[in-house]
Structure 1
Amino acid sequence: MTTISVKTASLRDGPVLPYAEAGYGGTPVVFVHAIADSWWSFEPMLRRLPVSLHGYAPTQRGHGDAERRPDEGYRPEDFAADLVGFLDAVGIERAVLVGASSGGVAARMVAGSHPDRILGLVLLGAPATLADKPAVARVWEEIQGLADPVSREFVDGFMGGLTARPIARGLLETMTEENLKVPAHVWKETMRGLMEADLPATLAGILVPTLVVWGDQDDFLPRADQQAVLDAVHGSRLLVYEGVGHAVHWEQPDRVVADVAEFAGSVLR
């Protein structure tokens, strides 16, 4: 298994972000986590990286052990700016971006605005829009009522809807603890930014090769939502994981790593 090193990146005019790095000399791949997660969300994948990939997984501002900011600064464009700053800070000229769930929003914004820095884009259960989705509306209502300290009961319920089948107990416990580190205001402002953003507009102008991965048991995103991504991003293609829920990279890390490696190889040919 690949060794993981945990480091920190100081962004110019931005926060200090911890990040995990695995592999050396392969194609740079930057993994972008979802709301309330951290680099640990990709630990199973980083352990499995082939020699063809060099993985980086930053923890976003306000999350995990990353630097906290005031009540504002947690909108998709803020996270996207941090991603570009991260590429600069660690010296990555061009990379494949892999965005999971809401992390896919910031990833695709960078792919659209900085195509010269992006070799390709992989979206793992990333929404085309959050409008007209009852499960998302319920989560947003609960998040608006959060207060510090965020309760384990809320986090357990939130995480319980992300997978269609049990995942490794160690990963579940780790991600629960990482979610509990996130202050209530970061939960609220991050989710508010997603709910208020024009998410379909963030799909416009993406010209880099794009792979969409979706579990057909995703309780948050119906097939029609992912079709909207395909319709908006010219040349994108869809991989459907049957019997898998929203967090495809938690349920089937081996398969996701293999598909990312194949995709990364294809964009270099």
Structure 2
Amino acid sequence: MTVIALKTAVLRDGLTLPYAEAGYPEGTPVVFVHGLADSWWSFEPLLRQLPASLHGFAPTQRGHGDADRPPDGYTPEDFAADLVAFLDTVGIRRTLLAGSSSGGVTARIVAGSHPDRISGLVLIGVPATLADKPAVTAVGETVQGLSDPVPREFVEGFLDGMVSRPVARGFIETMVEEGLKLPAYVWQETVRGLLETDLRATLAGILVPTLLLWGDQDAFLPRADQQIILDAVHGARLLTYEGAGHVVHWEEPERVVADIAAFAARLAAKS
């Protein structure tokens, strides 16, 4: 197991983002991008198991976890701008990006707009679009009615169904506590940003090598959703995790790390 170091990045606009760093300095940089209501903790199971070939970074996005909570700036484009600023601040010239769930939207926007900074893209349970998912629209309506303090029952319900197999209860409790750190307006503005953005359009212009990781028991994303990404991104590959749910890196962290390491090795061999 590798040691996780907790650090802080102060971006050029003064925004402060905590981040976790693990792995080996000589390894291929991998920046992990979490989704709605998560934080760097979402990737703790992966960071603990990084091989010597990888050097991992997991920033917590604005409004989430212990990051700064500005009053606005919660569209996918805003999060993408923060991610580029994070790369600049930490001194990462070029990296592999691995985004989970809605964090994959942020990651692919950066991959499409800054291909010179991105060596490859890994999308872990990432939607192609939300426009065709009534359940997500229903969540959006519920979120707009939230007020502070956000009820624990809401956060627990939001996380319910993310996995299809048992995950350590202590880890799930940690993720609930991280979700409770979001003020109501961060939930509302982040969800509004996702629903009002044409997510299919964010698939255009991605030229970097792309790998999709998807659990076939994902309660939110059908196989057809992943096919949209495969059709839109030239050369993209899909690895299906049989029996896994939406957040495959919580259920099978060892396999996810191995698949990312193998992907990074293939990219290195071609460079």
Which category of TM-score, normalised to the shorter sequence, fits these structures?
A: over 0.9
Task: Tell me the equivalent position of 1:227.
Answer: 227
Task: Supply the distance in 2 between the matched residues of 1:13 and 1:236 (Cα, whole angstroms).
Answer: 34
Partner AA of 2:57 in structure 1: Y
Q: Report the 3-state secondary structure (helix = DSSP H, G, I; strand = E; otherwise coil) of the residue aligned with 1:211.
A: strand
Task: Tell me the equivalent position of 1:101.
Answer: 101
Partner AA of 1:126 in structure 2: V
Task: Tell me the equivalent position of 1:113.
Answer: 113
Task: Tell me the equivalent position of 1:59.
Answer: 60
Q: Return the offset for 1:74.
A: 0.3
Note if contact 1:135-1:219 (Cα within 8 Å) is conserved in structure 2.
no
Partner AA of 1:46 in structure 2: L
Q: Return the offset for 1:134.
A: 2.5
Per-residue CA distance 1:121-175 (angstroms, 9 max, x = gap): 0000111000121321222122111111011100111101211122111210110
Which one is further off, 132-141 or 184-193?
Answer: 132-141
Query: Which runs of at least 4 in structure 1 moved beyond 6 Å after TM superposition?
Result: none
- 1:85 paired with 2:85, answer yes
Task: Supply the distance in 2 between the matched residues of 1:110 and 1:17 (Cα, whole angstroms).
Answer: 18
Q: Return the offset for 1:14.
A: 4.6
Task: Tell me the equivalent position of 1:132.
Answer: 132
Task: Supply the distance in 1 between the matched residues of 2:241 and 2:134 (Cα, whole angstroms).
Answer: 22
Task: Supply the distance in 1 between the matched residues of 2:37 and 2:220 (Cα, whole angstroms).
Answer: 16
- 1:47 paired with 2:48, answer yes
Task: Supply the distance in 1 between the matched residues of 2:111 and 2:122 (Cα, whole angstroms).
Answer: 10
Task: Supply the distance in 2 between the matched residues of 1:111 and 1:180 (Cα, whole angstroms).
Answer: 30
Task: Supply the distance in 2 between the matched residues of 1:101 and 1:198 (Cα, whole angstroms).
Answer: 16
Task: Tell me the equivalent position of 1:69.
Answer: 70
Task: Supply the distance in 2 between the matched residues of 1:229 and 1:254 (Cα, whole angstroms).
Answer: 25
- Structure 1 gaps, min length 5: none
Note if contact 1:14-1:82 (Cα within 8 Å) is conserved in structure 2.
no
Q: Aligned Cα RMSD in Å?
A: 0.7
- Count of matched residue pairs: 268
Q: Report the 3-state secondary structure (helix = DSSP H, G, I; strand = E; otherwise coil) of the residue aligned with 2:29.
A: strand
Partner AA of 2:61 in structure 1: Q
Task: Supply the distance in 1 between the matched residues of 2:259 and 2:186 (Cα, whole angstroms).
Answer: 32
Task: Tell me the equivalent position of 1:266.
Answer: 266
TM-score normalized by the length of structure 1: 0.98
Partner AA of 1:127 in structure 2: P
- 1:5 paired with 2:9, answer no
Task: Supply the distance in 1 between the matched residues of 2:220 and 2:144 (Cα, whole angstroms).
Answer: 18
Task: Supply the distance in 1 between the matched residues of 2:213 and 2:134 (Cα, whole angstroms).
Answer: 22
Partner AA of 2:188 in structure 1: K
Task: Tell me the equivalent position of 2:206.
Answer: 206
Q: Report the 3-state secondary structure (helix = DSSP H, G, I; strand = E; otherwise coil) of the residue aligned with 1:219.
A: coil
Note if contact 1:100-1:247 (Cα within 8 Å) is conserved in structure 2.
yes
TM-score normalized by the length of structure 2: 0.98
Partner AA of 1:237 in structure 2: R
